[in-house]
Structure formats: structure tokens, C-alpha cells
A and B are shown apart, each in its own frame.
Chain A
Amino acid sequence: MSKPIVATTSLAGCFGCHMSILDIDERILDLIELVEFNKSPIDDIKTFTKKCDIGIIEGGCCNSENVHVLKDFRKNCKILISLGECAIMGGLPAMRNGISVKECLEEAYLNGPTCQTNTEKILPNDDELPMILDKVYPCHEVVKIDYFLPGCPPRADLIWATLVALITGKPADIPYEVVKFD
């Protein structure tokens, strides 16, 4: 039987959830035996080269590129997992929801004590920059998500138990302390 294929991405997140995947420590060497990795920021594979079994999403959607990547993951992965608070409910970046994008940009590029020489009032605005969305959206509001792993970030033991359960098809035995909402 061929190995299950896993892809991962980080949208509007802080990469802490990916770091928590690495916190499975030496089990990462077992993981490499169990699965094959496809598109993921930790390797150099930048496009889907085949259909994947499991897609792991960190972060919500704050710009048009995030939405594009998320839809691409839905199209190419049988199972999608929202990993962590940002993917599940927007998380900390969603604290800007309710504040206009204009106000956020002005505070960052015009008002700060080290922006005092920006007298021409230049704001980032270029074809190469993706469009910022009106607010930050959780992933399940954009595509169907199959599983949700809570935590900021979810604990390494939770990620490991979930992946093993999905790969082996056996129910996950996850103690309450491991599913901790913080």
C-alpha cells in the first residue's frame, strides 16, 4: 500500500502551528516513514504534484491569496484540517475585524514614531501585493473543513494523535488535557 500524502500551508497565521508540528520532536522521523509530504513550506515543493490525502491549514484568510491557496487545498486534498485558532475562528489577526483596513494601514505606515519622514504619505499599493480582505475569515466560511484542532497552537501530542488516527484508521485516544483551548 502506498503512503498517505500530506500537504500543509500557513495562511494568515503566525507559523506557530507549524512549529507545534515540529514539536512532535523525534516522532517526526516516524512521521516521515508513515507519510509522504507534498506541497509544504518546510520542503521546497511549491505546487501540488499529486492529489493528497490530508491537507493541514494554519491561519485564516486575510487576503485574496489566502483564499486562492485554501481553495486549491480543498480541490487537491481528500481531508482538510483547520489547525489552531486562526484557521478555526480567525484568531488574533481577526482582532482587526470591525476596524477599517484604511485605519490599520495609516497606523502602520503614517502615524508611528518611526514613520515621521513619510511626508508623502506613501502606503503599500502595488500589483504584486494581493488584495487585503475587508475582514479576516475563518477557513470553514470559505471552504468545507473536515476536522478542527483547537489551541494556540494545538499541542504537538494532539497533532500527532490525530495524524496517527487518520493514517491508521483507528479511533484517536486523546486525553482531555491535550485538547486544551489556549
Chain B
Amino acid sequence: MATTKKITIEPVTRVEGHGKVTIHLDDSLNVVQSRLHIVEFRGFERFVQGKPYWEAPVLVQRLCGICPVSHHLAAAKAMDVIVGAGTGDGLTPTAEKMRRLMHYGQMFQSHSLHFFHLASPDLLFGYDANPAVRNVIGVAMEFKDLAVQGVMMRKFGQEIILATAGKKIHGTGAIPGGINKNLSIEERDSFLKGKDPLNVDKMIEWAQAAVEFFKGYHKANADFIDNFSYFPSNHLSLVRKDGALDLYHGVLRAVDSWGNKILNDVDYQEYYTHIQEETRSWSYMKFPYLVKLGKENGWYRVGPLARLNTCDFIPTPLAQKEFEEFKAYTKGKPSNHCMHMHWARLIETLHSAEMIKELLLDPDLQGTDLVTKGTKQHEGVGLIEAPRGTLFHHYRIDDNDQITMANLIVSTTNNNQPMNNGVNFVARNMMTGKREITEAMLNAVEVVIRAYDPCLSCATHALGKMPLEVTVVDKDNQIIDRKTRS
């Protein structure tokens, strides 16, 4: 009988949450299986039952402190339906635009955080560099200007969130049917004309520079960016009714790897007729798939790359120009290049900065009509494009206004199969036939996971770290070799 050897990487650092990777090798050192395990479980679906529905937008965001605004708003959108304020377009202009400002502020800070704090160390130092240097602290020491930029971009986004949600993390701004404040002239002016660099024009300039930085890196490292973990897939996101990129509201669209539509702009209130989830015994993270294509072929990617693959255009001029260049690179077809995720994310960062400016200049933000009321419903679904992809919240309530059912499909869960495929790609390419487990190989596995900017915190409905330990064992679990990264 063939001997199986097992390699374990845990934890995966510089991603948001808890995960570990196992790779099984046979006697001839072929990769027979690789898995990304999500090891945390919270139980939100059950323990929010019995809570009054209006608590959901503040409770459920505690799933995740990295993009709490997404959960806050997705829950609020579901509760809009429940209070009879309609789906997405039933709010007053002030309420909808304040929420949009909050959301684009969060998109801007989260994308900045990912690029500068988490991903840039790999790009600046190379993923085979010494881990003691290859981190945000190393970036701060060697590329101080860039680090300052990253810190200030994140700060700007966080300040927008503070002004719209009341707190930078776990805010309270959105309420069922609307918003609890407008934006004062002073707050508006602090973002429009703030002291350098904290004003929106500087942010647009820096976001443009970040896109240019990536394009330069791409040119110099085309093989890595284009081929590392390339695989075709379906892509899913919300799009505006006219096909524009819209991160706050829209209809569900899915395309295949060639751009043919699988879901043609459907209303998301009945998302569960289109999407189901498979449970596998070795991970707490479920595997969503499109019902139409089945468990085997129905998996899809979400997030910045998927969004630029599904939408027809970007409704702000600077980002649209970058979008055209991005589309031209793959001849108008969807990009299935995993590392183009960084490119797409930076184009969205630019788009978010442009949107923030557009919204700040809109006098509706100073309106005083904040809440819409209607006829109570017993069920509501709220979807939003979170930084990491489509986020689904679904609730039912009883006659006492208490929650009886909560179903959540978070962005990272949607990317479960693609991340597993990515790990498998790296494992097969870099570990097959090798006895020596190198630091660079291990980090390559992490690089592919990190491209998805996975928020495993959300996905487990939880970043704390066990030692990175690589263990090679045979089929009887006898340890043959063990390596610890330090």
C-alpha cells in the first residue's frame, strides 16, 4: 500500500482569520490532496434567534472587525425589507447616500489595508524573502513613504466611517429603514478640504499612484502575475441594473470563464433558489455553488476580480479608464488570473475614492429626511458587495419582532473552492517530487490564499496564531519529518 505523507501549514498569517493547510503526498512525492481548513466555529445563525430584529445590524457585524460596515449594511438592508422600506431603492436620498458614503469609505480603507499592510510585503520583498523582514513593519522601515501612504489612506477611510456610522469599528449609523444622522457641513469640508494629505483629492491621487505601482510591477513580473495560480472559473457579483459596477446595491449576475451569463441580473430576494451550499466534514466553511451548474461545476469566485469580470463599465471616469486597460489585457473576456485580483482591487480603490468625492459634493447628504416606514414583512434578504465579495444576509422574524431564522453567506465563503483550487495549484507545481520543504514554497501557498484577501474571521462566523509547523507523516500518522518556521 502506498504511503501518504502529510504537510501542514498553520496558521496562515497576514490573512484575516484562522486557517490551516494540509498537503498529502504519496510514496513518489506526488500531491494526492490539499485542503484549506477553516478551524473556527461561532454559531451566529443559532444565537441571534430570539433577538429583536433591530439589533441585527449592530449584533451581526461582530462577526468581523475587518469589514464590519459590510455586515452592518447587509443586515440593515435585510431589515429595510422587514420594516417595509423596500429593497435598496426605498430609502430617502439622504439615507441611501449616507450609507453609500459609509460603504465606499470602508471599501477604500479595507482595500488600502490589504494592499499596503498585507500584500505589499510579498511584492516589495518577494515571497521568498526572509519572513522577519517580509511584513508591514519591514515595509515601514525600508519604504517609509509608501507605508505612510498606506496608513493615511486607511485613516481617511476610517474617518469617513466615523462620520457616517458613529464609530470606526462596529458603528451604529444604519437602522432599519434608513440612517440615524446626516453629514454636517463641517464634516463634509474636513474631507473635501482637509489638511494635506487627509483630503479626497490627495486620496484620488494616491489611489492612482497605487494602480500605476501595480502596473509597473506587473510589467516587470509578467510571468508571476499572469501565471501564478491561473485557473478558469465562474464569477459572481451584484451589478447595477444598467450593468455598472455598484458596490452597494444591484441585481445578481454570474458569468462563466468566457463571459457567458449564467445568472442574468436576477432579483436577490430569492437568492437561495440560485445558490446552495455544500458541507464538507474537514472544514467549518461551507462550499457555495450555483444550483444551475450543480455541486461539481457550480463554484464561482467573488471579490474585486469577479466584479470587474461581471460588470460592463465603471461609472467614474478615472477608474473607467483603468478598467478599459484591464479588460483589454484579456481581450474583453473575463480575467481568470488569480494575481490580477490585486490589480482589480486597486482599480476599485480608485473608484471608491472617486465615489467618495462625488457623494461629498451631493447636497442630499445634508438632508433631514432620514427614515422610511412601511408595512411590516416577516422575511428580508440583504446583499451587498463587501470588499472581499458578495455578502448575503437573510432573516425571518415572528409576530413579536424576534428573529426566528438567520442565514449568512459571507464573501470569503463564496471563495472557498477557488482558494482550495489555488492551494492545490501551488502544491502541485511547487511541492511535487520535492523532499525539501522550503520557506518559499510554504509562503507561495499563503500568497495564493492571501490574493483572495480572505477574511476568515467572517467566514467562521473569527487571527490568532498557532506555530507554523510542517509535519510530514505516513499513512499511520508516524512522523517522518517536522519543520517549524520561526
Contacts and interface: CB of A to CB of B under 8 A. Distances in A.
Given A14-B63, A15-B16, A108-B461, A124 B284 contact: yes
Contact of A39 (B278, B282, B465): B465
A44 interface: yes
Contacts, number: 242
A14 B152 contact: no
A16 B65 contact: yes
Contacts of B34: none
A175 B281 CA distance: 50
B282 A46 contact: no
B394 A99 contact: no
Given A109-B279, A114-B272, A41 B461 contact: no
Interface stretch (B41-49, B200-208, B362-370): B41-49
Contacts of A103: 46
Interface in B244-264: none
A9 B467 CA distance: 12
B46 A122 contact: no
A174 interface: no
Interface string B415-443: 00000000000000000000000000001
Contact of A23 (B42, B158, B465): B158
B141 A153 contact: no
A14 B69 CA distance: 13
Given A26-B148, A123-B279, A128 B20 contact: yes
A46 to B, nearest CB: 4
Interface residues of B, number: 83
A68 interface: yes
A114 B276 contact: yes
Interface string B450-480: 0000000100011111111100000000000
Given A15-B64, A32-B140, A124-B282, A65 B43 contact: no
Contacts of A68: 466
B2 interface: no
A138 interface: no
A109 B65 contact: no
Interface stretch (B128-136, B313-321, B348-356): B128-136
Contacts of A40: 465
Nearest to B394: A113
A16 B68 contact: yes
Given A66-B464, A118-B278, A32 B40 contact: no
Contacts of A116: 272, 276
Given A26-B152, A128-B37, A37 B43 contact: no
B123 interface: no
Interface string B21-61: 01000000000000101011111111111000000000100
Nearest to A7: B465
A132 B484 CA distance: 25
Interface in A78-122: 91-93, 95-96, 99, 101, 103-105, 107-109, 111-118, 122
A14 B151 contact: no
Contacts of B468: 46-47
B306 interface: no
A25 interface: yes
A128 B155 contact: no
Nearest to A47: B467
Contacts of A13: 65, 457, 462, 464
A123 B131 CA distance: 36
A42 B484 contact: no
Nearest to A26: B151
A165 interface: no
Nearest to A113: B272
Given A46-B468, A109-B279, A109-B286, A41 B14 contact: yes
Nearest to B172: A182
Given A46-B468, A69-B464, A128 B288 contact: no
A152 B45 CA distance: 21
A15 B40 contact: no
Given A32-B137, A112-B407, A115-B277, A9 B62 contact: no
Contacts of A93: 42-43
Contacts of B279: 109, 115, 118, 122-124
Contacts of B405: 111-113
Nearest to B274: A114
Nearest to B154: A22
A11 B282 CA distance: 20
27 contacts: A9-B464, A15-B16, A18-B463, A22-B154, A23-B158, A25-B155, A26-B148, A32-B137, A40-B465, A42-B135, A46-B11, A46-B465, A46-B467, A49-B486, A92-B59, A93-B43, A95-B47, A105-B43, A107-B46, A113-B394, A114-B286, A115-B277, A116-B272, A117-B276, A118-B279, A125-B281, A153-B170
The 8 closest A-B pairs by CB, nearest first: A16-B65, A104-B43, A41-B463, A43-B135, A46-B468, A44-B131, A47-B467, A107-B46
Given A18-B65, A93-B43, 13 more contacts: A16-B68, A20-B169, A32-B137, A46-B467, A47-B467, A62-B40, A104-B41, A105-B43, A112-B277, A113-B405, A116-B276, A129-B284, A153-B65
